[in-house]
Structure 1
């Protein structure tokens, strides 16, 4: 379906309507398709990014958080969204209740933002180093890669 939609903003807009206002199950399915579409055409998400970041503050299914953050790791986040994104990602990274995939994608979003906001590197490094001994294999793998990236 992502290939069929292509680079068409109108069709992507219809998908985003379902993502934001669909039924519980339709929203979950659309979140997966959203991720696939943004793999191919990440620029399509930019007009919706603010609303997606706001959605992260709400009680939503983990699949939505996971796919929003998965998508955000591949886009150049505009400066107007940096503060809220940084705050949210640091909070979820330190949370005990968030699933590993959500944390890992949030960690990557933060690492990408560290390229623009190098003052965040030390804080991110400390949090990752603190959690690696207790993390899953996926967390350890991504955390190790990000720690190397932060040292550059």
Structure 2
């Protein structure tokens, strides 16, 4: 299968599921998908993000070797929001390896502080930080302050809903 061509062929749930099924638990195919997700043009990045999420749900162990590159790419200036949004979406369901916890934490705090950041990126950042707060309870106060600021600056329903859940989870 020409993975890139198939991704560009059609943007639908059925197509994404078909490609995810073809990738399955094969590390080499997943690596090719990750390469497209991290390095291709916007439309390919956007469409491959959904497939990455689908495969990661079933086979989260395939992500492990790619997490450092995904986190590094997410931190780059000018990165398509689809990369940030989907990397964070995935990270909220994983136990983040210790070597990348610091960079992930820094990125999430930066995204929460940015008044121009999208609602989805802010919401996923809140959840990732709440998960990290289980190992780093000293960050809870900073999370609370940033959530209060986010609610003040952008009281979008997605921010309010996620903020309530995160505040409840961190106590």
TM-score bucket of the superposed structures, by smaller chain:
over 0.9
Distance 2:70 2:39 in 1: 12
Which 4+ stretches in 1 moved above 4 angstroms?
Answer: none
Residue number in structure 2 paired with 1:9: 27
Residue-by-residue CA offset, 1:108-133 (whole Å, 9 max, x unaligned): 11111111111111110121123224
Residue number in structure 2 paired with 1:90: 109
Aligned counterpart for 1:101 among listed residues 120, 129, 139: 120
Distance 1:135 1:105 in 2: 16
Is 1:146 aligned to 2:166, yes or no? yes
Distance 1:43 1:122 in 2: 32
**Is contact 1:43–1:75 with CA below 8 Å preserved after alignment?**
no
**Residues 118 and 27 from structure 1, CA distance in 2 versus in 1: closer, same or farther, beyond 3 angstroms?**
same
Distance 2:63 2:37 in 1: 12
Residue number in structure 2 paired with 1:48: 66
- Displacement, 1:22? 2.4
Bigger shift: residues 55-64 or 98-107: 55-64
Corresponding residue pairs, total:
151
Matches within 5 A, 1:105-120: 105-120=124-139
Residue-by-residue CA offset, 1:93-121 (whole Å, 9 max, x unaligned): 01011110011011111111111111111
Task: Tell me the C-alpha RMSD between the 2 structures.
Answer: 1.4
- Structure number, greater radius of gyration: 2
Q: Gaps (5+ residues) in structure 1?
A: none
SS at match of 1:56: helix
Aligned counterpart for 1:19 among listed residues 37, 44, 52: 37
Q: Gaps (5+ residues) in structure 2?
A: 1-18
